[in-house]
Structures are given as structure tokens and as C-alpha cells.
Amino acid sequence: MRRKFFEAVPPKVSDKSVSKQGVRYCNKMFTLEKDWSGLSNKERCRLRQKELKPLMEEFFAWCRKQKATVLPNSKLGKAIAYSLNHEETFKHVLLDDRLVLSNNIAERVIKTLVMGRKNWLFTQSFAGAQSSAVILSMIETAKRNGLDPEKYLEYLLSNLPNESILTDREKLSAYLPWAKAVQANCR
């Protein structure tokens, strides 16, 4: 959302421009989140309700007011429309204390997939494409949990075949990247 407002800011514009106001609203939200980064999820959630929620409400009310005054097909009009169309999605951060305001983490993780996209155009089958997706998900999840992806895959391939029932959720949960044994063996 911030990127769309940022792209709508003309090169030479006053600080009072509507597009700059949109960027400022977004910056305020990100500043709050940055200030709370070291807090527990519970405390961050409390502060989000107290400070971020009113700011979001003010921002979306501002967007609705501006919508009537800007050209809908302009960059600013598209930024406002995008914000309003995804308002409920953006507000999910207020409901779940594990969510983050920025999608930068997701974009960095997906970078591997995007870089290999042309190579995967030639996947010979749907099953092959699904297998690639599963393996990439496992690698990125391992990275996100501080594991060496190669060690994690080796650990899984060495130990999972020894399990008698692979449909037992309890047994399989011991192989998730945050399990103590996995953390001890795959760093």
C-alpha cells in the first residue's frame, strides 16, 4: 500500500500533496510497528489496539474522503482504490499478534521462487511442479527457523522413512523445523 502512494508522488511536489499525505500515514504505521518490535506479541497486540487501530481508521476515512477528489485512473486514484479494496485484509494485523505490518519478509522469501521461475516453466508434469513447490516451501521454512536447509532435508530424508505411520500428526510434529531435536541437529 505504501509503495503505491510512494509511486504516486510526483518529482516536484509540496509536502501538502495528497500522495505525500498517504505516504506519511503509512510511515506513521511502520514507525509504530518498528517501535514495538522488541515487545512480546501480547503487548504489541495491546498497543496495536490502542494506537495503530485509530490511526488505521483515520487513514481509511481519509482515503474515502480523497477518493471523491482524485482521478480514478491516476496513480494516486489507484493507490487509494487499492487501499480501500484491501482495507479488511490490512486490518488483519490488528486481529492476530503474530502478523507483521510489512510484507517485506514474504517478498524476500519468494525471491528464490521468482528467480527460478523461467527454469520451472519446463516442469514436465503437474506432480513435478507440486514437488518443486513442496521442496521450496521446506527450504524457506528451514531458513526462516534458523536451520541449515541442506541439513534439515538430510535429517528428514534420513529419519522419516523409519517412521511406521506418516499420517500420525503427533509423530510428524517432531520433524517440524521448530522441534527441539530438529533445532539441535540441523543448525
Residue 165: strand, helix, or coil: coil
- pLDDT for the residue 153: 94
- Give the Cα separation of 174 and 187 in Å (integer): 16
pLDDT tens digit string along 59-86? 999 999 999 999 989 999 999 999 999 9
Q: How many helices (H) and strands (E) does the chain have?
A: 11, 0
DSSP 129: H
79 burial class (0-12, 13-18, 19+ CB within 10 angstroms)? buried
- pLDDT for the residue 161: 83
Tell whether pTM > 0.75: no
- pLDDT for the residue 69: 92
pLDDT tens digit string along 86-99? 999 999 999 888 88
Lowest mean pLDDT among 68-77, 124-133, 138-147, 152-161: 124-133
Pairwise pLDDT comparison (161 vs 78), residue with the higher score? 78
